[in-house]
């Protein structure tokens, strides 16, 4: 049975032994250079050594460390592997989190990681805003006070009246930064400004503006050298790779096998495939890979495949500001016209499973949360051209000479946008365009220059339809925020939920603020999603049932496939990789090393 944060915390301090796979008992035999790729962003030698910088030369699990690393649990987003935090305890009411720092945690310069570093890290997080670190009138996000208990213990308290069920989750994912490096970037009265910023006054607005400006400065800040609390320290970086060397001061240095890590740069999936087929990588994080390339990779001596659950779904999303996507009948018609099984086989044959439903969650999470009986009530939107034609006709469209025409007499035609370099999305987009064109809707798949341009232009509302990642678990709040958060007009500010109309404030989806759902009446999905951030996890089922039904009925996006986490490793130089289905597989290989995996070949 799922338990609330309070119930869980009242029982114990969460020391978190691994569930699903345990830490490897094998002791490290140091040696060798482990070669992989940095998947989260391109390597830029001019970028700062700063985990908050979008393309910074600070690498999660290798040199950049949070308090803890989240597991991939279907229903409990608070399960984490320890990072800089050795353990954490939550008060019975969920309002306080007390963090115990790893007693042997040190920076790469040999100094201790202390509570002062954690408080400085929280301050920097406030300059970036968002989550529990938002500064807004009426409250300071949901984080109210940061109290140093002793050199290795720190307490975080929610703001009065706040009961955010992602409070622990958000705190544990905070980057840990050295006060010696980042403290001088903060004004001496920083915490006074945070308190002032929580006031709905002119002074409060001035403080918030000042902190927002400071946040922009922090993002561009680059220390002259890496001061790391992780298992590795950045040694050098150029346009093709970053080299990290083992940190002898890391608190679990005896678990770390490689002496060095080489992170190769890449510009697209194809380059990673080339690295793998050439046997140049010891391991590679998830990359969408077609079947023929998988076969080539596995022919390389020592190559093997790891698979695990991925709480991510690829979806075709609509900008409802563009007619006729404002009509739900049209969105439903497209769902009946698109053969999702064919799309999945084209786009992600080895790294995806066809989405059986569009619920806003991956299929496994939906089953775990709402059960098979409730899931079976959702429309599976099987291919049905007759049903699609009825829906399009109901929406006012007409068919002439095999082509669908809009009510204004113009052909129903649109461009489906995908980012260059995302081979699975590009292939899937072309297949969807072909399927719909054959059904009488002229669709052209076109590519953006890169993902950064794609994200920017999508947020600006420049695309009528495009691919969008949804179902981002394990937090159901985060999953549904992809559909009913800022991209669709809803945002929480000062403890109040507001909604911006289509085309304003980043609202590019342009969905209706409410809709009447059979069996549930009129629902506001933004309010329901916001509720998920407040409800204890064991009280969330009814809200998730409503959101799943809303999503299935209104189709702001159509889930095409749920990803399977497929990764490749090569055992020629290193061994002792995690097993299939380990909850660590979504984390960087640096975290695997911290758990005792990846040892030099004996």
Q: Are 55 and 44 in contact (CB under 8 A)?
A: yes
Q: Is the peptide bond before 124 cis (omega within 30 degrees of 0)?
A: no
Q: Mind listing the pLDDT tens digit for each residue in 55-73?
A: 889 999 999 999 999 998 8
| Listed residue (589, 582, 575) closest to 32, CA to CA | 575
| Listed residue (359, 467, 341) closest to 416, CA to CA | 467
Distance CA 538, CA 94 (A): 13
Q: Are 569 and 281 in contact (CB under 8 A)?
A: no
Question: How, if at all, do strands 413-419 and 465-470 pair?
Answer: parallel
Torsion of CA 184, 185, 188, 189, to 10 degrees: -160
Ramachandran bin of 584, using left for φ above 0, alpha for ψ from -120 to 50, beta for the remaining angles: alpha
- pLDDT at residue 24, as a whole number: 53
- pLDDT at residue 10, as a whole number: 32
- pLDDT at residue 13, as a whole number: 33
Burial 434-459 (b: 16+ CB within 10 A, else e): ebbeebbbebebebbeebeebeebbe
Distance CA 441, CA 329 (A): 15
Within 10 Å of residue 309's Cβ, how many Cβ atoms?
Answer: 23
- Sheet containing strand 85-90, strands side by side: 85-90, 96-101, 153-158, 143-150
Residues near 496 by beta carbon (within 8 Å), at least 6 away in sequence? 138
pTM equals: 0.83
- pLDDT at residue 313, as a whole number: 97
3-state secondary structure of 261: strand
Residues of the chain with pLDDT under 50: 1-20, 25-29
Q: Are 134 and 143 in contact (CB under 8 A)?
A: no
- pLDDT at residue 544, as a whole number: 97
Q: Mind listing the pLDDT tens digit for each residue in 420-458?
A: 988 899 999 999 999 999 999 999 999 999 888 999 999
Distance CA 593, CA 444 (A): 45
Q: Are 63 and 576 in contact (CB under 8 A)?
A: no
Q: All domains of the chain, ordered by start, with CATH? A: 5-26+42-220 (3.40.190.10), 313-563 (3.10.105.10)
Question: How, if at all, do strands 557-570 and 303-318 pair?
Answer: antiparallel
| Listed residue (114, 94, 117, 96) closest to 105, CA to CA | 114
Chain centre to alpha carbon of residue 477: 12
Residues near 553 by beta carbon (within 8 Å), at least 6 away in sequence? 328, 379, 515, 517, 518
């Amino acid at each position: 049975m799922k338990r609330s944060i309070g119930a869980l915390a009242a029982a114990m301090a969460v020391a978190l032994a691994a569930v699903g796979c345990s830490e490897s008992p094998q002791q490290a035999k140091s040696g060798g250079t482990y070669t992989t790729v940095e998947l989260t962003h391109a390597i830029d030698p001019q970028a700062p050594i700063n985990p908050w910088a979008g393309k910074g030369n600070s690498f999660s699990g290798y040199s950049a460390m949070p308090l803890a690393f989240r597991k991939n649990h279907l229903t409990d987003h608070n399960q984490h592997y320890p990072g800089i935090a050795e353990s954490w305890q939550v008060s019975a009411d969920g309002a306080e989190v007390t963090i115990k720092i790893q007693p042997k945690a040190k920076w790469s310069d040999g100094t201790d990681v202390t509570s002062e570093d954690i408080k400085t890290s929280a301050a920097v997080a406030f300059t970036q805003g968002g989550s529990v670190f938002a500064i807004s009138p009426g409250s300071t996000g949901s984080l109210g006070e940061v109290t140093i208990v002793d050199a290795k213990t720190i307490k975080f308290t929610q703001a009065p009246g706040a009961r955010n069920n992602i409070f622990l989750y958000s705190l544990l994912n905070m980057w840990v930064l050295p006060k010696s490096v980042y403290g001088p970037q903060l004004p001496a009265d920083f915490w006074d400004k945070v308190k002032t910023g929580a006031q709905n006054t002119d002074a409060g607005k001035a403080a918030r503006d000042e902190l927002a400006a400071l946040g922009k400065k922090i993002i561009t800040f680059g220390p002259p050298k890496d001061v790391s609390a992780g298992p590795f320290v950045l040694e050098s970086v150029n346009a093709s790779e970053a080299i990290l060397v083992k940190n002898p001061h890391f608190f679990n240095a005896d678990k770390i096998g490689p002496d060095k890590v080489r992170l190769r740069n890449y510009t697209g999936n194809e380059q990673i495939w080339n690295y793998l087929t050439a046997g140049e990588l010891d391991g590679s994080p998830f990359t969408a890979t077609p079947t023929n390339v998988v076969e080539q990779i596995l022919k390389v001596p020592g190559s093997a495949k790891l698979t695990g659950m991925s709480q991510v779904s690829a979806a075709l999303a609509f900008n409802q500001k563009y007619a006729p996507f404002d009509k739900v009948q049209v969105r439903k018609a497209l769902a009946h016209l698109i053969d999702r099984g064919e799309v999945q086989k084209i786009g992600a044959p080895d790294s995806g499973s066809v989405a059986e439903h569009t619920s806003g969650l991956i299929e496994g999470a939906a089953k775990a949360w709402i059960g098979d009986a409730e899931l079976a009530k959702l429309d599976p939107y099987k291919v049905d051209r007759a049903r699609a034609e009825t829906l399009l006709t109901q929406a006012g469209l007409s068919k002439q000479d095999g082509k669908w025409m809009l009510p204004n007499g113009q052909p129903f035609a649109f461009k489906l946008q995908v980012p260059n370099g995302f081979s699975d999305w590009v292939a899937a987009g072309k297949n969807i365009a072909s399927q719909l064109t054959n059904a009488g809707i002229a669709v052209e798949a076109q590519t953006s220059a890169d993902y950064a341009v794609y994200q920017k232009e999508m947020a600006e509302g420049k695309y009528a339809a495009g691919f969008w990642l949804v179902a981002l678990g394990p937090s159901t709040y985060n999953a549904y925020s992809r559909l009913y958060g800022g991209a669709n007009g809803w945002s929480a500010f000062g403890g109040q939920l507001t909604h911006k109309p289509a085309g304003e404030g980043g609202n590019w989806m342009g969905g209706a603020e409410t809709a009447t759902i059979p069996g549930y009446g009129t629902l506001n999905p933004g309010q329901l999603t916001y509720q998920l951030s407040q409800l204890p996890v064991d009280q969330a089922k009814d809200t998730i049932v409503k959101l799943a039904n809303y999503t299935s009925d209104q189709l702001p996006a159509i889930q095409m496939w749920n990803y399977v986490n497929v990764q490749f490793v090569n055992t020629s130089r290193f061994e002792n990789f995690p097993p299939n289905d380990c909850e660590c597989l979504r984390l960087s290989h640096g975290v695997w090393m911290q758990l005792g995996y990846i040892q030099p070949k004996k």
